[in-house]
A = this chain, B = another copy of it.
Amino acid sequence: MSSANDLREIALTEFSSSGYAGTSIHKIADAAGLSKSAVLYHFGSKEILLDAAIRPAIDELESILSELESTPFTTEFRGAFLDRFVDFLFAHRLEVNMFINQGPSLVDVPVIDRANDLVRRLATHVTSTTASVEEEMRFAISLGGAAYMLCTEQSLGLEAAPIGEAKTALMTILTELLAPIGVRQGD
């Protein structure tokens, strides 16, 4: 495996668990068995490393969102969308956890701003413009709750379940949570 890739993954893990401000370049370098200078050789700055670590996830989120915004929200598409979104959450749990928890405090970092914008767009689309307080809550709880759950299953005693079972359970819960939202659009 390439050093750059190692560093990206290690940085993502550390940023997600200890926070961006709480993670020093030195710590990441140590975990990779390299020197701090090696990290700055591959990624010109700490911020560039952050960008590289979460950009793929944000790109995919943007793709999901584009499809969502350009497709009539029929009942069957709702299922397909939720399926893809849950897959996204599982595949990029660390990244999601990062910009959900630290997004507000990392403004003016371009890649984080982009992520925040996407979340806002997603919220606007899912809840529509006339959403009630409860509907907006349902969306926020779904997103924040899933991000939290996926990153604390082990530390909370939730031992890793078979992925298939976990996905099914999460889809059940999210479907139930979001069911009252947007029914006027396609159901």
Contact = CB atoms under 8 A, between A and B. Distances in A.
A20 B101 CA distance: 13
Contact of A152 (B133, B138, B144): B144
A156 to B, nearest CB: 6
B17 A123 contact: no
Interface string A153-187: 10111100100011001101100110000000000
Interface residues on A, range: 35 or more
Contact of A145 (B142, B156, B169): B142
B105 A137 contact: no
A18 interface: yes
B145 A141 contact: yes
A21 interface: yes
A91 interface: no
A140 B161 contact: no
B101 A18 contact: no
A138 B175 CA distance: 13
Interface of A: 17-22, 100-102, 104-105, 119-120, 123-124, 132-134, 136-138, 140-149, 152-153, 155-158, 161, 165-166, 169-170, 172-173, 176-177
Q: 6 closest pairs, A vs B, by CB? A: A144-B148, A145-B145, A21-B22, A141-B145, A140-B149, A134-B169
